Structures are given as structure tokens and as C-alpha cells.
């Protein structure tokens, strides 16, 4: 099997890797780069646990062939914090109990980040739409929506 060399930036760090054409972006992120925040839930793009931001938009990394990362900028949950300082979305999910078991949390936060990058003041309905591809079996989504609203307010305040 022929490997393809790809170059991309992940969490601000340039990478050059050789990947097999059948590998997914999720496999590349978790197995090669050892960034384990994105989770494999369903492997079918239905649950959102593997959501990362690629090229400025939220994607299900379990569906993206790794070779499509070539030339892209990718952000995972690990890339949101600055040093020891959590991103306002991460802080908000902790403070407002936007998570229970935590399995879906990184995907929820990455979808919310993508939404807030496009819309700094989303309504509750727009938040629901923005996280629609992310499933949580523990919460009723109320705390998730509250967490995202609180983060939006924090981010408008210059954080």
C-alpha cells in the first residue's frame, strides 16, 4: 500500500506525516499524534464525539480521510486552551455543568466553537442547531446550551 505524505497544521503546530489512504483523520489524530480528546463514538458521523475544526468548520473526523488534511489547519479540543488557561467554552462547560460523563464534551465544545466563530451571539435555537450533530446520553442539553450561552458572554467581554 502506497503512503501519501501530507502537511498540515494542528493546534498551531506544523506536521508532516505519511498516511495510508484508508486512514481517517480521527485515527491520525488519536493514534499518530496521541491527541485523544476527539473520541470515536459511532464511527459513522452520527454522534459528533469526534468533532474537530478543519479549515474553519466543524467536521466529523471519523468520516474525513486523513489525506484530506493535507494543507489544512486543524484544531482539536487540546488546541483551545492557551498554556494552562482553559478556553471560555471549556471553563463554561465546567462551571455550568454542561457535561456529565464527558464522552461527548469535546465534540460539543468544538461544534460550539465553530458556531461562536460564525455567530458571537447565538439564540438558544441557533445553539441547538449548531450542536445538532452531537449526541449526549447523559444531559438534557439544557446545561449544554446554558454553558454555550455563558461562554458567548465571556467571549464578548474580551476573553
Across the range 69-76, mean pLDDT stands at 98
pLDDT of the residue at 77: 98
Q: Quote the pLDDT of residue 137.
A: 86
Q: What is the pLDDT of residues 17-27, one digit of tens each?
A: 999 999 999 99
Q: Indicate if 58 and 20 belong to the same structural domain.
A: yes
Residues 31 and 97 in one domain: no
On average, the pLDDT of the chain sits at 94
User: Domain count of the chain?
Assistant: 2
Helices H / strands E in the chain, number of each: 5, 5
pLDDT, mean of residues 106-132: 96
Strands, E assignment, the chain: 4-10, 13-19, 51-54, 57-60, 73-75
Structure confidence at residue 158 (pLDDT): 56
Domain final residue, candidates 60, 79, 98? 79
* Residue that terminates a domain, selected from 23, 44, 79: 79
What is the helix (H) or strand (E) element at residue 69, kind and residue range?
A: none
One domain for residues 67 and 124: no
Instruction: Indicate which CATH number applies to the domain containing 133.
Output: 1.10.150.120
Q: What percent of the chain has pLDDT over 70?
A: 99
Last residue of a domain, one of 15, 46, 79: 79
pLDDT (tens digit per residue) in 3-21: 999 999 999 999 999 999 9
| Ramachandran category for residue 26: left, alpha or beta (phi over 0 → left; psi -120 to 50 → alpha) | alpha
List the domain range (segments joined by +) for residue 57.
4-79
Residue 152's Cα: distance from chain center in Å?
16
Amino acid at each position: 500500500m502506497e503512503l501519501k505524505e501530507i502537511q498540515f497544521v494542528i493546534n498551531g503546530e506544523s506536521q508532516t506525516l505519511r498516511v495510508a489512504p484508508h486512514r481517517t483523520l480521527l485515527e491520525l489524530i488519536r493514534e499518530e499524534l496521541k491527541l485523544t480528546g476527539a473520541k470515536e463514538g459511532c464511527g459513522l458521523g452520527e454522534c459528533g464525539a469526534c468533532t474537530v475544526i478543519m479549515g474553519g468548520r466543524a467536521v466529523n473526523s471519523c468520516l474525513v480521510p486523513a489525506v484530506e488534511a493535507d494543507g489544512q489547519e486543524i484544531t482539536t479540543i487540546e488546541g483551545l486552551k492557551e498554556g494552562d488557561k482553559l478556553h471560555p467554552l471549556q471553563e463554561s462547560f465546567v462551571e455550568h455543568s454542561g457535561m456529565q460523563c464527558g464522552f461527548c464534551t469535546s465534540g460539543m465544545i468544538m461544534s460550539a466553537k465553530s458556531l461562536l466563530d460564525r455567530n458571537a451571539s447565538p439564540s438558544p435555537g441557533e445553539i441547538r442547531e449548531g450542536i445538532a450533530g452531537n449526541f449526549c446520553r447523559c444531559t438534557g442539553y439544557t446545561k449544554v446550551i446554558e454553558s454555550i450561552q455563558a461562554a458567548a458572554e465571556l467571549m464578548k467581554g474580551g476573553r
